[in-house]
Every structure is written in structure tokens, then in C-alpha cells.
């Protein structure tokens, strides 16, 4: 059954061109900035591109677009309703979708990060290959955490509007406020890319925090799916 | 197979209060309008809605239990389907979720004559086609033992409508229990073997057949007579009118509809009128009463049953008090 649930979520993602086009746009913007940075001959070209455009803008928005494609426009309740109506446990259906979202965000985040690091490489940056691999690691972890973050967001709101709220909260509490950044994926991704550490924590602690976020937020989204209306036409609950 | 024990549920504008109902294998209808609670009753049985009080049992288990839910198929007016998938992929996924062996999609869709939809994306289907696919999934599943169908003959692909009654009735033979929520008395009588009448969330009555309503003579019957041409219809109406048995006679082209209280007398008069007018009717059938008429009749049946029950209780009480004067204790 798990295979069938993963198939449904994966197919929805693959057959949603809107999500792919949005993801491509963020790829294009991140790569364009990386190319410009390299052409300018900046000494720390990779650092600037990764901390500024990639970590702060492209990775969150790329993950946001992918989560939108995986969950669809209706959020968690609406996207799992078809398989739940066939008898699939809601938490399993949500978990399978979160797994697909996590895999897609992690792979794309890692690939984009590595590509930006390699292209924007400056003279004072660490060796190109090493920098690319480390950025892929950070991008993968970041993508995974964002998948959980946006999945939890998509479980709020009648049409999954909480996903957009999660994006805004990520930026609002992110690197601009050192103490609150500790609860957002953005704060930890920036720390691992060489930015300001939230509450002065180490990069290793941020890596663990990103993994924990992926798990905790994903688990919370799956648990919220258990109490979601089981039929999309039945929004009102019985009065207890 | 399905039991509601002291179930109370509330959802504006309807409320069920301490309802005890049971359904065994077969096809059963729940007759009532959209706001009378038929759909909500099915949602309770499907485990999609929690009861406020009481217990709902399906297939000897809690319908909210995942093992039970996989054996329940519910097809609402707008069934949720995975829009990104093709129809054949959806049927494969449903088989995997329900835990049954996958069969070729065309074979399953062929049950309702919808083979042509196999390779279509679900997002491209019309509402009627999507309902046809959802009904196919429910009716051809080998694991589903409880089928909850809302208005199965309404807003369904034209190719499927003709085959649906037979396919639904066929589920009787494999031990499944099929609940049909409908506001059409005609659909209910065509599909189901017994009927539960709901009005604003209250169970008004249960009837084993339409005949039970008609024989009680509490509901007027419509006899429809179809003859081969308009002139014959006029002749038949003239002869029939002389017998003065019907409360109402309506002619529209070759079709004549007569209404009366005594079904048997109406049928005899129709045959007599045909003989006198020298007309050979092509079709002679009873029309199902409208929902309002059926509800009125079923309420009257309930009232009649209550009266009889009260009278029986009074007689029993009188007998128990032994030799009290007639009417004593009243």
C-alpha cells in the first residue's frame, strides 16, 4: 500500500507543470546570480551567491514550489482525500506524501546548491569540488527541513494556505532576528553556509536541528492529517 | 453487517437522536431529500463522521478502524479522485490500497460500459464520467463488502446508467450490503429491497416494499397507460372516464396517467376501458409516488402502527387487570 500512496504523490508532483515551471524559475534566478558573481571576479563569489540568493531566496522558494506541486492547491486534507476515501489510513497517506516532498526538496536543493557553488566559485573560496559537495550536503538537509516545514504549513487553512504563511514566517523569524532564527530552517541553513549562527550554535548543531525539523514538522503534519475531514465535501464536523 | 446502536449525531439542519438501525446483506434504500440526512447517515456508517453518542458498527468492527474502512466504498455526489492519475492507474492504486489483486482496468470498467475511459486523465473527466468511474471502482472491488452510494442513478455517465441497476442488484448475491441514499422513490424501488424514510434527520418509517405503501391505500397510485396512437388514447380516456373511478386523469399524447386510491379497481377499470374502446395498450405500469407522497404515506403507516400498538397495549393492560369494565383505565 505504501508504494501505491507514494506513486499517487509522486505522480501528482510530476504532472503539475505549474510547480515545475516555478522551480525552474528559481533555478534560473540562482544560476544567473552565480554566473554574474563569477564574471565580476569576486574573491568570495560562492559565499556571496550561496548566502544571499541561494540560501535566503532560491532554496526556500524552490522548496515552496515543490511542496505546492506535491500537495496540490488544496493542502493536506484535500490531497489525501482520494486515497483516504479508498481506505488508506490518513496518517500513512500524509506520511507518503511528506516522504515524496522531502526527497524532491532534498535532491533539488542539493543539486542547485552544488551547481551555484561550482559556478560562482571565487579565488578565495574553498576548493571547487569540496565546496560543491559541502553545499550539496547543506542544500539537501535544508530541502528536507523545508519539506517538513511547508508540509506542516499545508495542513493549516481550508485550501492549504498555511504553506504561504510558513514561507512568510520563515523570512520574518529568519536571519534578521538571531534568537528566533533558531526555530526556522532559514536560520540554520544560513549558519551552515557561513552566515550568522542563531544563538551562536555550531554548524553541527544546525545540521542536527535541520534533521530534527524535518522529522518533527513532518510528524506533526501527518498527525494533523489524522483529524482532517475524510471527505472533501464534508468540511463541517459533527457538533459534539 | 451494519448496526447503529443508540446513535445521535447532529449537523445543521438535521439531527439524529438515539437511532437504532440494522442492515444485513442486500440492497437497502434511505429515502429523503438532500437536507433530510441520508448522506450524513452514510458518512456515519463510513466512519467519516463521528457520532455524537452511541455506536456505529460495520462488518463487525468500528468503521473508523483502517481494516474495516478498506472494505467500505462510499460514492458521494462528488467523489474525491486522484486527479493527476489516469483512470487505469487509479484502479490499480485502489486495488493496492484495498488489498485485492489488480485486474485489467478495461475489464473492471466494462462492467458499466466505461472501457473507453481507461487511459483518460481523471482531471479531464466530466463530473458524470468521474462518478461513473467511482461507481465502477466500488462495484467491481472484490474486497468491498459495504457500498454506500448517494444518488447512484443521478449525474452518472449515460453509458453507465443503463447497467447500474443490474450491477447494484448483483451485489446482493455476494453477501455485500449496499445502502443507497436517494430522494427518488422511483430509484429506491428500482434498486432496493427495503426502504428507510428520513425526514429532517428523523426516521419516519421503514417499508419492505413500495407495495406496502400502496396497499395501505394511504398513498394515491398513478397508473400509466401507453397506447399506440393519440386517437386510441382519447378513446381509452373516454371509456375510462365513464367508469368514474379515478381522482385524476391526464393525457399527454399516447400516454395517459390516471390516479386513484384503489389500485386493484384502477387496474380492472383500465382493462375494461381498453376492451370497450377496442384499444390494445402497449404498456401498463404503476408509477412510483413522489417523495412527498411517499413520506406522507410512510408517516401515516407509522401513525397507524403506533395506534395499533397503543390499542394492543391497552387490551393487554385490560386483560391483565382481569374483568375490569370495558374501557376501564382509559
The ipTM is 0.79
Contact assessment for residue B53 and residue B18, using Cβ atoms and an 8 Å cutoff? yes
Q: Band of the pLDDT at B295, cuts 50, 70, 90? A: low
Query: What is the separation, in whole angstroms, between the first and last Cα of chain B?
Result: 42
Residues from chain A contacting residue B140 (CB–CB below 8 Å):
none
Cis peptide bond N-terminal to B13, omega within 30: yes
CB atoms within 10 A of CB A6: 16
Q: Which cell numbers hold the place of A164?
A: 504561504
pLDDT at A216: 95
Q: What is the secondary structure of A112-152 as a DSSP string?
A: HHHHHHHHT--TTSSPHHHHHHHHHHHHHHHHHHHHHHHHH
Closest CA to A218 of A144, A160, A167: A144
Question: How far does A159 lie from chain B, in Å, by closest CA?
Answer: 15
Mean pLDDT of B298-324: 67
pLDDT of residue B109: 93
Q: Are strands B146-150 and B26-31 parallel, antiparallel or unpaired?
A: unpaired
Query: Would the CB atoms of A8 and B71 count as touching at under 8 Å?
Result: no
Task: Report the percent of chain A where pLDDT is more than 90.
Answer: 38
> Which of B10, B46, B77 is opposite residue A239, by nearest beta carbon?
B10
Please check whether residue B62 touches A, CB under 8 A.
no
User: What are B100-144's pLDDT values in tens digits?
Assistant: 998 999 999 999 999 999 999 999 999 999 999 999 999 999 898
pTM of this structure: 0.75
Nearest-CA neighbor of A7 among A82, A65, A74? A82
Does A127 touch chain B if contact means CB atoms closer than 8 Å?
A: no
Inform me whether the pLDDT recorded for B218 exceeds 80: no
Strands B221-226 and B283-287: antiparallel
Tell me the C-alpha distance between A232 and A222, whole Å. 17
Average predicted confidence (pLDDT) for chain A:
85
Tens-digit pLDDT profile for residues A20-53: 899 999 999 989 988 888 777 776 667 777 888 8
Q: Closest Cα to residue A151, out of A63, A236, A210? A: A63
Which pLDDT belongs to residue B222? Answer: 75
Amino acid at each position: 500500500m505504501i508504494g501505491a500512496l507514494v506513486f499517487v504523490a509522486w505522480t501528482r508532483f510530476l504532472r503539475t507543470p505549474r510547480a515545475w515551471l516555478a522551480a525552474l524559475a528559481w533555478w534560473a534566478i540562482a544560476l544567473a546570480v552565480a554566473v554574474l558573481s563569477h564574471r565580476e571576479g569576486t574573491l568570495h563569489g560562492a559565499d556571496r551567491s550561496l548566502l544571499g540568493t541561494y540560501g535566503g531566496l532560491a532554496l526556500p522558494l524552490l522548496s515552496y514550489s515543490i511542496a505546492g506541486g506535491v500537495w496540490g492547491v488544496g493542502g493536506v486534507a484535500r490531497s489525501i482525500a482520494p486515497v483516504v476515501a479508498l481506505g488508506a489510513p490518513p496518517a500513512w497517506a500524509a506520511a507518503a506524501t511528506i516522504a515524496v516532498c522531502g526527497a524532491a526538496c532534498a535532491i533539488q536543493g542539493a543539486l542547485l546548491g552544488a551547481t551555484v557553488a561550482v559556478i560562482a566559485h571565487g579565488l578565495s573560496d574553498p576548493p571547487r569540488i569540496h565546496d560543491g559537495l559541502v553545499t550539496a550536503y547543506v542544500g539537501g538537509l535544508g530541502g528536507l527541513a523545508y519539506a517538513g516545514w511547508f508540509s506542516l504549513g499545508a495542513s493549516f487553512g481550508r485550501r492549504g494556505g498555511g504553506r504561504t504563511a510558513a514561507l512568510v514566517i520563515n523570512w520574518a523569524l529568519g536571519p534578521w532576528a538571531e534568537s528566533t532564527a533558531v526555530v526556522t530552517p532559514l536560520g540554520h541553513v544560513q549558519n551552515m553556509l557561513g552566515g550568522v549562527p542563531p544563538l551562536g550554535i555550531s554548524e553541527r548543531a544546525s545540521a542536527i536541528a535541520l534533521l530534527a525539523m524535518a522529522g518533527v514538522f513532518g510528524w506533526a503534519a501527518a498527525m494533523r492529517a489524522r483529524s482532517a475531514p475524510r471527505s472533501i465535501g464534508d468540511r463541517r464536523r459533527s457538533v459534539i | 453487517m451494519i448496526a447503529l446502536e443508540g446513535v445521535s449525531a447532529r449537523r445543521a439542519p438535521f439531527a439524529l437522536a438515539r437511532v437504532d438501525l440494522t442492515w444485513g446483506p442486500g440492497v437497502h434504500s434511505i429515502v429523503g431529500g438532500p437536507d433530510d440526512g441520508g448522506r450524513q447517515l452514510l458518512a456515519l456508517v463510513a466512519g467519516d463522521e463521528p457520532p455524537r453518542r452511541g455506536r456505529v458498527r460495520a462488518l463487525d468492527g468500528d468503521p473508523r478502524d483502517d481494516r474495516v474502512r478498506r472494505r467500505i466504498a462510499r460514492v458521494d455526489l462528488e467523489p474525491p479522485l486522484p486527479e493527476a492519475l489516469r483512470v487505469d492507474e487509479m484502479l490499480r492504486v485502489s486495488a493496492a490500497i484495498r488489498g485485492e489483486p489488480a485486474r485489467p482496468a478495461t475489464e473492471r470498467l466494462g462492467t458499466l460500459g466505461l472501457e473507453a475511459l481507461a487511459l483518460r486523465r481523471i482531471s479531464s473527466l466530466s463530473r458524470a464520467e468521474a462518478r461513473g468511474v467511482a461507481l465502477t471502482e466500488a462495484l467491481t472491488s472484490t474486497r468491498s463488502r459495504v457500498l454506500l452510494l448517494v444518488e447512484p442513478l443521478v449525474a452518472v455517465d449515460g453509458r453507465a446508467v443503463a447497467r447500474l441497476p443490474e450491477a447494484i442488484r448483483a451485489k446482493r448475491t455476494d453477501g455485500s450490503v449496499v445502502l443507497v441514499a436517494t430522494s427518488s422513490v422511483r430509484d429506491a424501488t428500482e434498486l432496493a429491497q427495503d426502504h428507510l424514510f428520513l425526514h429532517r434527520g428523523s426516521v419516519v418509517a421503514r417499508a419492505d416494499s413500495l407495495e406496502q405503501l400502496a396497499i395501505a391505500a394511504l398513498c394515491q397510485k398513478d397508473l400509466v397507460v401507453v397506447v399506440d396512437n393519440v386517437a386510441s388514447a382519447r378513446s381509452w380516456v373516454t371509456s375510462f372516464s365513464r367508469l368514474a373511478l379515478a381522482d385524476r386523469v391526464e393525457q399527454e399524447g399516447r400516454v395517459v396517467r390516471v390516479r386513484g386510491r384503489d389500485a386493484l379497481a384502477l387496474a380492472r377499470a383500465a382493462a375494461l376501458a381498453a376492451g370497450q374502446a377496442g384499444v390494445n395498450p402497449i404498456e401498463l405500469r404503476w408509477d412510483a409516488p413522489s417523495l412527498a407522497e411517499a413520506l406522507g404515506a410512510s408517516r401515516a403507516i407509522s401513525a397507524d402502527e403506533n395506534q395499533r400498538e397503543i390499542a394492543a397495549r391497552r387490551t393487554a393492560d385490560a386483560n391483565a387487570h382481569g374483568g375490569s369494565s370495558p374501557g376501564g383505565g382509559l
